[in-house]
């Protein structure tokens, strides 16, 4: 079955750009039929959807983060990535990537990667 | 943006008991777009229910979802030791996914 794994620096300085990669195994991003999302979870446990990408490269971002987010896809490596610019301490969170299903029965995230903690600190 | 409010914040129960978790939306939503997740410490959330009432693959039938409009419920018929965790509801609407703040089910 599909598995996802996040990777990237665990510590980012304020004002810099957070960069993460999600590697997908057990299935091809290029097969279509799903979105590929980034979600974060704050230390207080709240969850926030960041955005998604389709294999074609089309994206949609949470309006609250849109000005700072870029999600891209590399189908040759079966990976998609997140860049979040101008980070502050408020961006400290566990970042997850997730396969996103959509149908007449709804839109949901399954499965999720294990998550990676990113701390913003000087 | 639709706000999801979960209650109670914490539910203290014993194994074998029935758990009833609530998720209330700030305005009426399509039940098709309501999902539930379970999260254990140090793990990613796991999908339990989508479309308000459909169990995800591999989810035991002691988990059930119901509701419509603004009020949705996740019921665990008989709590097993592995069910003590945090549960989140999630909604999709207007190209935006939102989550409730979670309900912790703890051992009494």
Q: How much is the average pLDDT of A29-58?
A: 95
Are A65 and A58 a contacting pair, CB within 8 Å? Answer: no
Q: How far is A8 from chain B (nearest CA, A)?
A: 17
User: Which DSSP letter does residue A86 get?
Assistant: S
Contact call for residues B28 and B68 (beta carbons, < 8 A): no
Chain B nearest-CA residue for A99 = B47
Residue A106, pLDDT above cutoff 90: no
Confidence of residue B32 (pLDDT cuts 50, 70, 90): confident
* Average pLDDT value for chain A: 96
DSSP single-letter state for residue A57: S
Contact check, Cβ <8 Å, B96/A62:
yes
In the prediction, which pLDDT does A18 show?
A: 98
Confidence grade of residue A104 (pLDDT, cut at 50, 70, 90) = confident
Residue A105 has pLDDT above 90, yes or no: no
Half-sphere exposure (Cβ direction) of B62: Cα atoms closer than 13 Å: 13
CB A66 within 8 A of CB A119: no
Q: What is the pLDDT of residue B30?
A: 85
Tokens representing residue B107 in the block: 């051992």
Q: Is B104 on the interface with A (CB under 8 A)?
A: no
**Which residue on chain A is closest to B35 by alpha carbon?**
A108
Half-sphere exposure (Cβ direction) of A119: Cα atoms closer than 13 Å: 4
Is the separation of the CB atoms in B1 and B97 below 8 Å? no
pLDDT value at residue A103: 84
For residue A85, pLDDT over 90 is answered with yes
Task: Check: CB of residue A83 under 8 Å from CB of residue A19.
Answer: yes
> What is the reported pLDDT for B1?
83
Beta-carbon contacts below 8 Å between A and B: 66
The answer to whether B44 touches A96, Cβ cutoff 8 Å, is yes
- How far is it, in rounded angstroms, from Cα B55 to Cα B63? 8
Question: Which of B47, B99, B102 has its CB closest to that of A110?
Answer: B47
Chain A CA closest to residue B42 = A114
A106 neighbourhood in chain B, CB within 8 Å? 32-35, 50-52, 92
Please identify among residues 8-27 of chain B the ones whose CB lies closer than 8 Å to any CB of chain A: none
Report pLDDT digits (tens) over B44-103. 999 999 999 999 999 999 999 999 999 999 999 999 999 999 999 999 988 899 999 999
Q: Do A105 and B50 touch (CB under 8 A)?
A: yes
A29 phi and psi angles, rounded to 5 deg: -60, -35
CB contact under 8 A, B96 and A49: yes
d(CA A40, CA A98): 11
Helix, strand, coil abundance in chain B, percent, nearest 5: 5, 60, 35
The nearest CA of chain B is from the CA of A7 a distance in Å of 15
- What is the pLDDT confidence band of residue A45, given thresholds at 50, 70 and 90? confident
């Amino acid at each position: 079955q599909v598995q996802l794994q996040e990777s990237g620096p665990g510590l980012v300085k304020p004002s810099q750009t957070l960069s993460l990669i999600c590697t997908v195994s057990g299935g091809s991003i290029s097969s279509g039929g799903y979105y590929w999302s980034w979600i974060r979870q704050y230390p207080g446990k709240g969850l926030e959807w960041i955005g998604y990408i389709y294999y074609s490269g089309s994206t949609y971002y949470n309006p609250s983060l849109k000005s700072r987010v870029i999600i891209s896809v590399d189908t040759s490596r079966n990976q998609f990535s997140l860049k979040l610019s101008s980070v502050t301490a408020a961006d400290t969170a566990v970042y997850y990537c997730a396969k996103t299903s959509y149908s007449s029965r709804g839109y949901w995230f399954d499965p999720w990667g294990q998550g990676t903690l990113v701390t913003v600190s000087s | 943006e639709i706000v999801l409010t979960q209650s109670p914040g914490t539910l203290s129960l014993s194994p074998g008991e029935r758990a009833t978790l609530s998720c209330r939306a700030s305005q009426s939503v399509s039940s098709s777009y309501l999902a539930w997740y379970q999260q254990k410490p140090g793990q990613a959330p796991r999908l339990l229910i989508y479309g308000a009432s459909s169990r995800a693959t591999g989810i035991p039938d002691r988990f059930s979802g119901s509701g419509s409009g603004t009020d949705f419920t996740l019921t665990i018929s008989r709590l097993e030791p592995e069910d003590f965790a945090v549960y989140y509801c999630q909604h999709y609407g207007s190209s935006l996914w939102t989550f409730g703040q979670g309900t912790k089910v703890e051992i009494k």
